[in-house]
Amino acid sequence: MSAWTDLASELDAWAAAGRAAEFWWRDDDAVAATPALERFIALQRGCEVPLALAVIPAGVSESLHARLAGEPGIVVVQHGWAHDNHARPGRSKTELGSDRPAAYVLGELARGQVRLDRLFGPTWLKVLVPPHNRISATVAGGLSATGYVGLSTDRPRGTPPAGLIQVNVHIDIMDWTVTRAFLGDDACLTQAVAHLRAKRAGQADPSEPTGLLTHHLAHDDGAWTFIERFIAATKAHPAARWRHPADLFRPTMAARPMTSPR
């Protein structure tokens, strides 16, 4: 069977169990209004699926705020401070790791909050997306006290840091290690099906929506095509639903309309 057939079969299994498989969408590394962002917004509008746009505060431009005005399907979250790598040689890249004092790292993140407050006011979600999806336990443990309500990294979530709602991503469509291009349909769908199966079997938190991770500044034609096809395929299935990020990180809010299953 093709990977697309595997996805449909897995969603069929959710339907047969009388359950809904939930999804959400996060895009990383936004800093300014660009041709790539323009194409991305057109895609998001066409798909009619809301998303969280992870913005890098140190480099954010007024042009991004101006372009996002009037785009209710896109909510801003914070992508670290400057997306720099502060790991020691030989360690995995991280900006928010343990190689610097946690108080210093949290101070940088606070500067990022101030910058996003100035640009986006109360409309951005106080959710932290660590660059490279890595964060030390000490820094994560200090987020709630500094005003964050949520955290989003990658892989199936475990117990979140105290005081935070954690919702991760599970389908990274880019190959960052070799080609720095689209990973390919089969590899992306394998990630999706693996998380859906784990949730259905109780091997991963069944209440965590399966997260689609994109990087609009890095997309090639294959990536653009996959996003559109993946969202269309899931929206067409009666057992799949796409969630608004604001609902995921603000559970006490009145529910926003979900994208209706079709």
CATH number of the structural domain spanning residue 211? 3.20.20.370
Structural domain that includes position 71: 3-249
Measured distance CA(139)–CA(105) in Å, rounded: 7
Q: Which residues of the chain have pLDDT under 70?
A: 1, 251-262
Q: Does residue 87 fall inside a structural domain?
A: yes
SS3 at position 131? helix
Name the residue with tokens 């969603």.
11
Measured distance CA(145)–CA(28) in Å, rounded: 24
Tokens (6 digits) for 127: 């959710």
The identity of residue 141, as a single letter, is: G
DSSP state letters, 51-85: EEEEE-GGG--HHHHHHHTT-TTEEEEE--SS---
Q: Does residue 89 fall inside a structural domain?
A: yes
Q: Please state whether the predicted TM-score (pTM) of the whole model is above 0.85.
A: yes
CA angle 153, 124, 229 (to 5 degrees): 60
Tokens (6 digits) for 131: 């660059």
> Largest alpha-carbon pair distance within the chain?
51
Round the average pLDDT of the chain to a whole number and report it. Answer: 94
Write down the pLDDT at residue 250: 82
Write down the pLDDT at residue 187: 98
Strands (E), 97-141: 127-128
Write down the pLDDT at residue 1: 59
What domain count does the chain have?
Answer: 1
Nearest one of 236, 218, 238 to 228, comparing CA atoms: 236
Write down the pLDDT at residue 251: 55
Q: Does residue 219 fall inside a structural domain?
A: yes
Q: How many CA atoms lie within 13 A of 218 on its CB side?
A: 17
Write down the pLDDT at residue 223: 98
Q: Does residue 67 fall inside a structural domain?
A: yes
Q: Does residue 259 fall inside a structural domain?
A: no
Q: Does residue 256 fall inside a structural domain?
A: no
Q: Does residue 261 fall inside a structural domain?
A: no
Q: Does residue 104 fall inside a structural domain?
A: yes
